[in-house]
Structure 1
Amino acid sequence: MSSHPARDRSVRDIVPRDERYGRLFQQVRIGPKVAANRFWSSPYATGWRMDQIDREAAHRGVRAEGGWAVVNTGEVAFDPHSRNAWLDGLELSGENDARTLVGVVEAVHAYDALAAIELVHLGAAADPKQDRLPALAPSQMQGNGLFFSQAIPKTMDADDIRRVQADWITAARRARDVGFDIVNIHAAHGYLPVQFLTAYHNRRTDGYGGSLANRARFLREILEGVRREIGDDVAIAVRFAIEGHGNGALPADEALEVVRMLDHLVDVWDVAQGGLATTEYDLTPSRLFPEGFSLTWTRRMREATGKPVVGTGRFTDPDLMARAVASGDLDFIGAARPGIADPFLPRKLAAGVYAQVRECIGANHCARSQARGQLGCSQNPTTGEEARRGWHPERLPSPPEPEPSVLVIGAGPAGLEFATTLARRGFSLVHLVDEHDEPGGYLRWFRRLPGFAPWGRVIEHREALLKEFPGATFVPNTRMSVDDVLEYGAEVVVLATGAPWAKIGVSFVDNEPIPGADAALANVATPEQLLDGKALPGKRVVVYDCEGDLTGIALAQWLQQRDYTVEIVTPFGQVAGQADQDNVGPALRAEVIAAGGSLSAATLLVRVCPGHVVLEGEAGVRRSVPADGVVLVIRRESDDELYRELAAVDPARLRANGIGEIHRIGDCVAPASVADTVFDAHRVAREVGSKDPSE
């Protein structure tokens, strides 16, 4: 059964129902090509290698099917000196690679979208250890994106420059030959062309250094060669950072001067922000930046070019998109994360089914997960599973016959995803019960932490689906026992009871209880207790963070807003180090310090006493710290008691009460991220009635 608006095969046939958004579906000429509308699926890394090209092709193809007129690949390297295991594994170094990439082109062309390839050289940001090659750069200056690479590069000599330029041009020709419509030259994010452009990296004294014109020469010669080789056949795009932010960046005024220099060689400017040392300005996490933040800089492109301009901004609001186009700020709505969250965003906007749009929450789980080789999304559990599992974001199996009744216990992210997926499949007898008066699980309180309201979209989207698809009903204020479940009469029972934070603090070293770290005491609280109203005595609080991610530091800021003095203690080498992968860690640490807080990394909590705590730092050195209260962010523990009790019931008794299946999903199985919790629930919901979901 399909829950999306009627699908036209071609992006050319999409017609918006609401004239307010008509501009978004106008055709746009890009050099020798014409895009069917103004939706541009921006380049982003997926983490897949060339031997996983079926996954890349299926993933990009779904974007074309969803209505994006231009669909870019992720970063495609053409030089072994440019490899970096953190980033994409796609390559175009020879004819075999070119033939492999044909699958991506065909998947995009199947819906008459334009296929774009982003050709990239990382320069000093490369880390080609697997090839035992040096990174290359205009000067032997270490790149400033130390999270990605700490390589000391080789200074490129004239032969290196000529070879890289020739290889770039050859890769562009090969891309043209296998059917790509747009060749996107990556000159942003602190990569090799930017390293030539900026004095931070470029200390050369030859014709490629010194003046801005000389520093732009490397990129200009690449573009001249690409246009000479293939310019009549494909559109030439440049991914260009108008503002890189920070020492390793080109200031906006100089960036605009480069645009003026090169504009005659370019058909469309794909505008970005940030560099490898300032990725937060590129990925704009919702905790730090509002939707459309980058328009402040993108609109300045009109000072230097009349060519089409692509801009990103985590766009999901159709009114903001329409205003950006109408005002001339943008010609294309560029999007990576919004299209990951909902590949059918353009078609849904055209059809007017706004409640069905999965809005990106700006958590940047996609960026974190792709670095581990499996692209994921907090909103869209089918992301990355298009080929591997054959999942489609808008097509689901029909319910079995006869259709079973279903009881879902727990209305957090997993329970909501399970219930709404069944409703979208066409199930009509699904009850979603929860002990609280509203759905949300732990997101009920997490989205109340400073700056994390957008995470509530995970809940809000699924609440909207409950209204759109009436087969599932939310039943609030209902706590279930084994007897309640047996008497309920449901044939399928699903436990989505979550994983609350542990109330007893245990040592990070030996998993034994920490003396005094007990949330039953007045001076100790878990995150849930704190947000549900438990008041700690006094105003001096220690947050003990054994998660190393967002929860501890976000709670610290919540406390600071209420005039508490906070010290965050963690056994890890850095406070909230995991949050660096979401591009928010450094900013949050700075905010905590600016508000008067302190950070103690590589430190253990060894005892909680009335009025103080005992901490142990490097080399076993202990110190006493005044603390009126302690917040335990130790670990989450699956609330699986009801599941285990039901699993222990005699099967004959279960059958006598009509129960044929019992499942547990999400955090009730094992604590996980929102994305992985939603994925697990979706997996089981797809398979109920069709196969054993435990497989």
Structure 2
Amino acid sequence: MTKVAGIPAESVRHRYPHVFEPLQLGSVTIPNRIVRTAHRTHQPLTPGGGLAEYHLERARGGVGLSILGAASVHPSAAMELAPYDPATVPAYSRLMARIERYPMRLMQQLWHPGSAAHANALGGPMWSAGDVPNPVRGLVPIPMTQTMIDDVVEGFAVSARHVREGGLHGVEIHAGHNYLVSQFLSPVTNNRTDDYGGCEENRLRFLREIVAAIRQETGADFPIGVRLSSDEDVPGGNTPADARRIAEALGDSVDFVDASFGGYYRFVRMMATGDGYPLGYELPASEQVTRGLAVPTIVTGRIMTLDDAERVLASGQADMVSMVRALIADPEIVRKTVDGREAEIRPCIGTNEGCVAGRRGTFGCVVNPVAGKEVTWTADPSPAPRTKRVLVGGGGPAGMEAARAAALRGHDVELLEMTQQLGGQVAIGAAAPHRSDYGAHVRWLADELTRLGVRIRLGVPLEPDIVSSLAPDVVIVAVGASPRTDGFTAARPAFRLSTAARRRVRTSWEVLGFGGRIDRASRVVVYDDDGDFEAISVVESLLDRACDVILVTRHPTFGVGLPEPASTAQAARDRIAGHPGFELIADAVLTDIGEDGVGVEFLGSGRTRRVVADTVVMVGAREPNREVAEVITEVFEGEVHVIGDASVPGRLRTAVLDGATVGRSI
């Protein structure tokens, strides 16, 4: 490894002997076994477009192999990257001119969505192996003719040639996750009766032709890999045993096999959230495909640390380990480990709210504000021209991130938190069942503040006399927001909910043990006004206490306010659905809260229902604690910033970005 990425000391090599062992893929040497497999960022490969800078950051961080996100091989499939077009070659060349100074090797995934496309970019129906609709899109595709098949095979070959001409080190054929090649491989989607359907060998024919065409076009020394679904996770689909046979049938016609779980039939299990699946959750299926295979292999699935990767490699489960989401959260995992700075590695908390949910044009990371902004932001901010005294009020994620960024700039930073713990609402949310990973980020921030010399005072509110005594140059107000308790609901904003039995009403914070508790309850109505994870956490906490829970929501179901709920909320939906103590009343609002329970009105129809309950939990709008900022600005003439929920209540990602933006600006 070069000086830029760090040279592993003998002690590091001893601790991670498999991670830092180079690996040969055809004619290409991979410097270590850490891989960033393909994922889409919606960034173009144009000057200043962001894709080059994103991958450069992972190269600097010491990744061994990175695979560019899916690139279209045919005009029928729209995508930011389209290497079937020769105009892509100069863009690749510009990228490689910047990448080549680092030891990281770079390849391109080649892809056609088939029936998984939103639309056929050429017009008309989507193409597929058969006429089976995609489970998410729902549109019926047409079975590809021989001419279509030949055209797409040629598209793969031409695209691979252009990738090689652009200077990249290899290609990966996407043959998994229910995309086009997988649609041919799978008995679920391939109902053809010609030479491309029926028996396994026929279903493999399309992929064999693609591999052969690429090999003929690019030569024997250009690495070709294939990504397979280790388990389609649908009745009648390919199992790990089937995927293993496919991998063995390909033999040494490919240089590596990349096994990844699932597809569109259970999307949440393809990119699982931290609240639903354990670390390494894909390994039981994937290792049946990869262990002992004749060619090098890659596995993935919530593998978050080099210690985890070393165990996978040492056990023989695979030859390389992909750490995509971990490397989004911190692209310097390898470099920091090499430098003995493991404690500085920012943890991925597995919410999917920035990386997976952000794939439709707002790619980023909940915990890493730099992800997706590499064009304008460096990993750490540059030193400030002069040191200032910065006072931060509020120890939630916005305040902590602001304090960290300001300290990295070289400022003298002090943080006040009125409670006895850091973390704000994240710490409250992390107390819910299945959400302990959520707190890892604020624990990391607390460690960072200690490392950077930020003075932290707990149990101290941000008040005018304290500001006057400390005489800061800058005050950052990050005191958060509180649940509204005035009966406001978003569905009936002009009215206030009648709460004759106010003593029966609780907030989500009280359920989770902050500011009071629900000591005794047996039948609880939870009103979900915003569709966020907060209501899910409340429901699961109450179910864990053996309460009967009736969730009333103005939405069609719960979790719909989350970005990309199929990947962010589905694991929780799976846990809650069918629970004997749970009932869902959707598309409805509360009309009143009485001694016997609540009145419910169904939106649209106007029908009403009385629901008996001894306790009601309101989950909805929060009110910014703006009065703190108003008081401070009256007595302090210096620079004041109001950030996070204290400004406008929002999501964790917004709070972290707010803090980073202000901290970097001082």
Q: Which TM-score band applies after superposition, normalised by the shorter structure?
A: over 0.9
1:621 paired with 2:603, answer no
Note if 1:320 corresponds to 2:314.
Answer: no
CA distance in 2, matches of 1:297, 1:10: 37
TM-superposition CA deviations, 1:414-451 (whole Å, max 9, x none):
11111122222222x21111111110000111001111
Question: Where does structure 1 lack aligned partners over 5 or more consecutive residues?
Answer: 1-6, 689-695
Instruction: Give the one of 45, 50, 54 matched to 1:55.
Output: 50
- Alignment of 1:115 with 2:106, yes or no, is yes
Alpha-carbon distance in 2 for matches of 1:448, 1:41 = 32
**Cα distance in structure 2, aligned partners of 1:101 and 1:115:** 10
Give the conservation status (yes or no) of the 8 Å contact 2:275–2:571: no
Residues 363/671 of structure 1: CA separation in 2 closer, same or farther (3 Å cut): same
Which residue in the other structure is 1:563 paired with? Answer: 546
1:527 to 488, 492, 508: 508
Q: Residues 215-254 of structure 1: CA distance to partner in whole angstroms, max 9, x if unpaired?
A: 0111111011112221434211111111121137311111
Q: Deviations over 1:256-313 (max 9, x none)?
A: 1111111221111111111012222221211111111222122223456221111113
> What code does the residue aligned with 2:245 have?
E
Alignment partner of 1:592 is 2:576: yes
What is the CA RMSD across the aligned residues, in angstroms? 2.0
C-alpha distance in 2, partners of 1:66/1:582? Answer: 31
Decide whether the 8 Å contact of 1:495 with 1:668 is kept in 2.
yes
Superposed, which structure 2 residues align to 1:375-524 within 5 Å?
375-387=363-375, 390-393=376-379, 395-401=380-386, 403-427=387-411, 429-470=412-453, 472-517=454-499, 521-524=502-505
* Aligned-partner Cα distance in 2 for 1:581–1:80: 30
Task: Call closer, same or farther: CA 1:161–1:332 in 2, change over 3 Å.
Answer: same
Partner of 2:536: 553
* 29-38 or 601-610: bigger deviation: 601-610
Query: Which residues in structure 2 correspond to 1:15-34 (within 5 Å)?
Result: 15=9, 17-18=11-12, 19-34=14-29
- The one-letter code of the counterpart of 1:464 is D
Report if aligned partners of 1:8, 1:14 keep a CA contact under 8 Å in 2: no
1:368 & 1:220 partners in 2: Cα distance? 31
1:668 aligns with 2:646: yes
Give matches, 1:344-359, under 5 Å: 344-359=332-347
Contact preservation (8 Å) 2:131, 2:143: yes
The within-5 A match list for 1:149-228 is: 149-228=137-216
Q: Which position in structure 2 is the counterpart of 1:612?
A: 597
Q: Deviations over 1:77-124 (max 9, x none)?
A: 1223223xxxx5322231113323333333332313211101111001
Which residue type is aligned with residue 529 of structure 2? C
Report the residue type matching 2:583 in the other structure.
S
In the alignment, is the contact (CA less than 8 A) between 2:96 and 2:167 conserved in 1?
Answer: yes
Distance 1:587 1:373 in 2: 24
In structure 2, do the counterparts of structure 1 residues 680 and 249 end up closer, same or farther at CA, with 3 Å as the change threshold? farther
Counterpart contact for 1:286–1:454, Cα < 8 Å: yes
1:590-649 Cα distance to aligned partner (Å, 9 max, x none): 3223332011221111211112111111411111111211111111222221112223x2
Distance 2:446 2:10 in 1: 25
Q: 1:49-82 deviations in whole A, cap 9, x for unaligned?
A: 4557630010011101110011111111122322
Alignment of 1:273-288 (within 5 A): 273-288=261-276
The correspondence for 1:44, drawn from 34, 39, 47, is 39
Which residue identity does 2:61 align to in structure 1?
G
Aligned with 1:237: secondary structure?
strand
Aligned partner of 1:35 among 26, 30, 47: 30
Deviation at residue 22 of structure 1 after TM alignment: 2.9
- 1:77 aligned partner: 72
Name the residue aligned to 1:692.
none
Instruction: Tell me the distance in 2 between the aligned counterparts of 1:77 and 1:130.
Output: 11
Q: In structure 1, the residue corresponding to 2:24 is in which secondary structure?
A: strand
Residues 479 and 645 in structure 2, CA contact (< 8 A), matched pair in contact too = yes
How many corresponding residue pairs?
660
Q: 1:239 to 1:105 in 2, by over 3 A?
A: farther
Q: How does 1:117-136 map to 2 (within 5 A)?
A: 117-128=108-119, 131-136=122-127
CA contact (8 A) 1:66 1:343 kept: yes
Equivalent-residue separation in structure 2 for 1:52 and 1:593 (angstroms): 47
Q: Partners in 1 of 2:182 and 2:203 — Cα distance?
A: 9
Q: 1:221-236, aligned counterparts within 5 Å?
A: 221-236=209-224
Equivalent-residue separation in structure 2 for 1:52 and 1:553 (angstroms): 43
The letter for the 2-side match of 1:175 is V
Does 2:79 match 1:94? no
Per the TM alignment, residue 339 of structure 1 is displaced from its structure 2 partner at its CA by 0.5
Alpha-carbon distance change, 646 to 509 in structure 1, aligned in 2, over 3 angstroms: same
CA distance in 1, matches of 2:523, 2:430: 24
State the Cα deviation string for residues 439-486 of structure 1 (Å, max 9, x = none): 00001110011111001111111111123221x111000123233323
Aligned residue type for 1:637: E
- Residue pair 1:81, 1:134 contacting (<8 A) in 2 also: no
Mean Cα deviation higher: 408-417 or 221-230 = 221-230
2:39 counterpart SS class: coil
1:678 corresponds to which residue? 656
Give the structure-1-normalised TM-score.
0.91
What amino acid does structure 1 have at the position aligned with 2:96? Answer: V
Cα distance in structure 2, aligned partners of 1:563 and 1:267: 53
1:329 and 2:317 are equivalent in the alignment: yes
The match for 1:654 is 636
Q: Give the CA deviation at 1:35.
A: 0.5
Amino acid of the structure 2 residue aligned with 1:365: E
Partners of 1:644 and 1:415 in 2: how far apart?
17
Please tell me whether the aligned partners of residues 11 and 113 of structure 1 are also in contact (alpha carbons under 8 angstroms): no
Larger mean CA deviation between 322-331 and 296-305 belongs to: 296-305
Task: Specify every segment of 5 or more residues in structure 2 that has no aligned partner in the other structure, as ranges.
Answer: none
Q: Distance in 2 between matches of 1:80 and 1:644?
A: 57
Change (3 A) 1:58 1:490: same
Q: How does 1:137-148 map to 2 (within 5 A)?
A: 137-144=128-135, 146=136
Distance 1:60 1:317 in 2: 19
Structure 2-normalised TM-score?
A: 0.95
Is the CA contact 2:92–2:167 (under 8 Å) kept in the aligned structure 1? no
Q: Is the 8 A contact 1:102 1:179 kept in 2?
A: yes
8 Å Cα contact 1:240/1:269 also seen in 2 = yes
Query: Is the 8 Å Cα contact of residues 50 and 374 (structure 2) preserved in structure 1?
Result: yes
Q: Retained in 2: the 8 A contact 1:494–1:663? A: yes
Q: Against the structure 1 CA distance between its residues 400 and 52, is the aligned structure 2 distance closer, same or farther, given a 3 Å change threshold?
A: closer
CA distance in 1: counterparts of 2:5 and 2:251, whole angstroms: 29
